[in-house]
Each structure stands twice: as structure tokens, then as C-alpha cells.
Structure 1
Amino acid sequence: MMRLIIATRGSKLALWQSNHIKSLLEQMGHEVELQIFKTKGDKILDTPLALIGGKGLFTKELEEAMLRGDAHIAVHSLKDVPTELPEGLVLGAITKREVVNDAFLSEKYESIEDLPPNAVVGTTSLRRRMQLLHYRPDLQIKDLRGNVDTRINKLKNGEFDAIILAYAGLKRLGLLKSVQYVQKIDDNLMIPAMGQAALGIECVPEVLDIVKKLNDERSQIETIVERDFIEVLEGGCQVPIGVNAKVLENGDIVARAVVGLPNGKELLKDKVFGSVENYQELGQELAQSMIENGARELLAEAERIAFKD
């Protein structure tokens, strides 16, 4: 068995994810070690991600380590992985998905509905901002950067009335009871990000046969639909997009998406149905339907006004 090196970021969540995959690989009989790298997204904490510059904010340095031969594998939150990978690397596996919903956290209020007028909510995600303000245009949305602990501490220190995080990250870190109120947000109210709650394992081709054993077929199908949608729509983190595909018990798939303006004043939603047999067409079909209804024009306007409204 070859010795495998996993390139990882140093945040608690990134280390949990990498150690989780390390454990699975060790159970398969491999010797595995972690090497920690800092990414651009980790270094710049005072600027909204959408203004730093789109693709690969949390993956580029890990990819460079693999291309140099310093590592074989990188474990990412799949929502951070661009749809185009560098030449010489492959997306070897997509792990079984956690709960895909976003989560509402507050020390004082039980839900979004309970927030008083002009309450301050923390998120730097344009997708979350858009959907929150569409539902509650009276809210004040303020930027929230940093790792999960930092964000929760800012909430506890009274900088925000509530914050929005991914439910999966809270669950993985055992933080669901760290705040007085933690509520899963209905995914019809807030459609998740592409790939949310799944781990994407990027690797050099030499270890693909090892890595692909960790793949979860259902999660792979769902997230390929979502990634195809993003690729056709040509949308990155600089524009507000939500997309989520679900494989239903009967083998059908429903894929839903939302695009709009960061201020929530204009929103375009759509959904398509298909089956597992035609899943490779579904993301493109949903994107084309939304393009015909003006999605590209809406996203161009969204990029123009992002963080300026």
C-alpha cells in the first residue's frame, strides 16, 4: 500500500473533513498523513469573498501542492470546487451528502420570522443575502467572514442578531447546541449552494483507483446536475445563485434553482424533473430554461451592483 498525503487547509472544519477521509483510507489499509496549507480565502478575512475574485479561493494552493508532487489528495467542501479543474487533476470522488440546508443561528430569536424589523443578520454569501432580503426586505445584512468559531463568537458578542451558516458544518463540528437557537432553514425558502454538504475529493490520476472507492453514487448524481447547471449558466461566487438537485425514492430527480439581485428585489426561480437515467441532461436543461427567462441578464446586473447597493 502506498503512503498517501492529503493537502488540507488548517481550519477546524477543513481538518475534520480531511481527517474523516484519512480515517476511511486507513480503514482500506493505506498509510495517510495530512499537510496543512493556507489558501487565499484563508488569508484575506476583511473582504467579501465575491470581491476577492471568484474561482479557487479555497482550492488553488492545495491544487498547486498536488501538481508539484507534494500531495496526492485534497478534500474540499464541494461548493468551493470550481467546475473546471486544473489539467493534471481529477475529481475522484464525491462523498455521501450531509443535510444540505442552511442554518439560522441566534442567541435571542428562534427563527427568521421572529427577527424584529431592521435586525442585523450576518452572511457574506450573495446567495443567502438575496434570498433573505427577498423574504424579509426589512433586515440589515452585514458581512461575516472567518472560520465557524469566529462567526459564532461574533454572534455571541452581540455583533449580530442572527447569522446564517451551513447546517452540515455545524453538525460535523458538533456545534448544533453551541447557540441558543439553531434552526434548519427550509430549502424552498433558501435554496442551497451547488454541492453544499458534500465533500469533493480531488486527486492526481495516479491515486484515482483508490479515491473512487469513496464515491457515493446518489451524491454524485445530485451534484453533477448542480455543477452542470453552474457551468452552463457560467456563474461563480461573484453572483447570487442557488441550485439543488434531489434523487427521490422512486428514482426521479427534482432540480431547483434561483438567481437574482443581491438586494432581493428581483428573483428568478425554476425547477425541472427527470430521472436517474437522464441526469446528465438535467442541469443543462434547467440552466437553458432559466437563460430563456432572462437569468444571464439578471446575473449581469447582480454582478454590477454586488456590495454596492
Structure 2
Amino acid sequence: MTVATSPLSIVIATRESRLALWQAEHVKALLQARGHTVELLGMTTKGDQILDRTLSKVGGKGLFVKELEVALEEGRAHIAVHSLKDVPMDMPEGFSLACVMEREDPRDAFVSPRYQHLAELPQGAVVGTSSLRRQVLLQALRPDLKIEPLRGNLDTRLRKLDEGQYDAIVLAAAGLKRLGMQARIRSIFEPDTMLPAAGQGALGIEIRTDRQDLADALAPLAHMPTWLRVAAERAVSRGMGGSCSVPLAAHATLQGDTMQLHAAWGDPEGIKALVQTQQTATVTTLAQAEALGAEVAARLQAGGALVCKPD
């Protein structure tokens, strides 16, 4: 049943990177088409400012979210649009994920000025990534490569590649496609080669829990098949350590009511072997999706994966 809502005046808190602004403008256009008045509040987050260290060393993906939540708390903005893979697994008290939108391509992209595929890279080639997940999966595929940190927004990362600092970089395909930069993609990693991050390619919209009017206004933008899939994926991540940085991949597919959930955990020190598992279940509700994710997390732990303990 569609909830009828009165037009609202909505301010969207967003990071100011080109990709974040594209995402916010996308949501703005959809809400305006439904009669709402919408404007953007651009903000720079701590995650955007600290570029000389990997995310896992400075507090994890929540660094991209906190300032936006403060704007919601103070009433300067009403909703925040996030790349869901950047959102910590447990929301702060008083905040909720009100909407998950239809997913773009969840896979990773191989980007290089000279090489078409990962397999073509010469021994010892330098590959850039900001992700612990990509680091451990790349090391499992090609132990001979040199994996180096790569921070900054999408344009900055591509510039560093073009300047010759890396032989190749690995990025989310969704961001490149959303910005019309598909031509930079040399090849796509299929999930059976490089399993995506939980929530990769999906947009989530955060609100204060007490704003039911906003939840009703956002309901038509939600895509339940995507929401079910990412709920299962995020439940795996929650079961493996919540919001701290975990070298973890989780990817769900949904055919009818049948969900198949794959997950992998890697040791960033390279001491323990990659742990992988999968499970299939009937899923029609968010609670069932989260239960499947919890079960897969337990299977990873049974296989030797370590739960991340926040400092």
C-alpha cells in the first residue's frame, strides 16, 4: 500500500565529492517529482579530510557519516544520502535507515591505463585500493602484487593512476557508471572472483527516527529486493564486528523468494587463509534476511574467521 504524504520541505545533507553530489541530486530529483521542495546542504566529512592514512587506521567508514548525522541532529538537514557500504552496521540511537534504493552494479572494476585484466599485470605491479576487503582478495588472487593505499574521491584516485603512481586501481563499478565514466573500466570482477562489499552499489537514506513524515515521503523510493539483499549482507558484517574495519565481503542474490548469500573473510596480515562460505534460504522479510546474515557470520567464525573487536 502506498502511503499518501503531504509535500514537505526537505534539506539533504551530503558530502561534496562529485559522486556524493550526484547521489544527492538523484534523490532530490525523485523527491521533487513527487511534489516535495528539496535543497542540498554540502558538507566535508573527516573521512574526506584525512587522506594520508587508510580508513582502517583512522576510524573506519563511519568517518564519512558522522558530520551528516550532526546536521540531522541539529535540524540543519532532514535526510542524509549515503553509499550504503560507507554506513556503519549499527546506527546511532535516534537515527534509522529509512530507505534503500534500487542497486546499481555491485561489482568491483579493474582500472588501468595499460592492462586489460588483473592477470595481465606483471609480477610486482603496484595496485591501489583503500579497502581491506579488496586488499585481502587481491592478495589471494595475486600474492606477487604490491598492494598500496589509495585514498581520495573518485577523480583524485583516477588522477593518481594517470600520473603513474599505480599500475592499476580497483574501484566500485557503481561510482564510475553513475558519473558516466564507464570507459575507464577495463574489466569487471565477477563476484566469484572478487566478492563485493556489503551494500556496495546501493544508496541508503538516513533520517532521525522520530520523523515518520519523512519515512512516509521516502517509502516510494525504496526497492525491497535490494533492501532484503543488503540487509542480509550487512548482518554478516554486523556479526563479524559491527562498525570496525573488517576485511570482509558479503554478497546476496535473490531469485523469487530464494536468497543465496556468499561471504568471505581475509586476514590482512596474510597469516590465516581466506575463509569463504555460502548459505541459501527463503527470504521475504528484513528479519529473515538478517537471520540469514547472522547464520553466515557464524559459519565464517566456525571456519576460522576472527571477529573484529573495536578498540
Q: Per-residue displacement from partner, 1:47-84 (whole Å, max 9, x unpaired)?
A: 11110012511000000100111110000000111121
Q: Is the Cα–Cα contact under 8 Å of residues 13 and 78 in structure 2 kept in the other structure?
A: yes
Residue pairs, 1:58-207, within 5 angstroms = 58-177=64-183, 179=184, 182-204=186-208, 205-206=210-211, 207=214
Q: In the superposition, relative to structure 1, how do residues 280 and 141 fare at CA in structure 2: closer, same or farther (>3 Å)?
A: closer
Alpha-carbon distance in 2 for matches of 1:79, 1:237: 13
Aligned to 1:232: 239
For the pair 1:246 / 2:253, whether they are aligned, the reply is: yes
Q: In the superposition, relative to structure 1, how do residues 150 and 55 fare at CA in structure 2: closer, same or farther (>3 Å)?
A: closer
1:289 to 290, 294, 299: 299
Alpha-carbon distance in 2 for matches of 1:191, 1:157: 28
Alpha-carbon distance in 2 for matches of 1:211, 1:161: 42
Following TM superposition, by how much is the alpha carbon of 1:182 offset from its aligned partner in structure 2, in angstroms? 2.0
Q: Is the Cα–Cα contact under 8 Å of residues 47 and 61 in structure 2 kept in the other structure?
A: no
Q: Which amino acid aligns with 1:233?
A: M
Q: Per-residue displacement from partner, 1:279-307 (whole Å, max 9, x unpaired)?
A: 3421011111112222126x57xx99xxx
Q: Which runs of 4+ in 1 moved over 4 A?
A: none
Q: Per-residue displacement from partner, 1:57-114 (whole Å, max 9, x unpaired)?
A: 1000000100111110000000111121122221100000011100000010000011
Q: CA RMSD in A?
A: 1.7
Aligned to 1:53: 59
Q: Which amino acid aligns with 1:285?
A: E
Following TM superposition, by how much is the alpha carbon of 1:263 offset from its aligned partner in structure 2, in angstroms? 4.8
Q: Is the Cα–Cα contact under 8 Å of residues 61 and 245 in structure 2 kept in the other structure?
A: no
What 5-or-longer segments of structure 1 have no aligned partner? 305-309
Q: Which amino acid aligns with 1:63?
A: E
Alpha-carbon distance in 1 for matches of 2:246, 2:294: 18
Q: TM-score, normalised by structure 2?
A: 0.92
Aligned to 2:29: 23
Aligned to 1:307: none
Q: Which amino acid aligns with 2:283?
A: V
For the pair 1:214 / 2:221, whether they are aligned, the reply is: yes
Aligned to 1:272: 279
Which deviates the most, 98-107 or 255-264?
Answer: 255-264
What 5-or-longer segments of structure 2 have no aligned partner? 1-6
Alpha-carbon distance in 2 for matches of 1:235, 1:103: 26
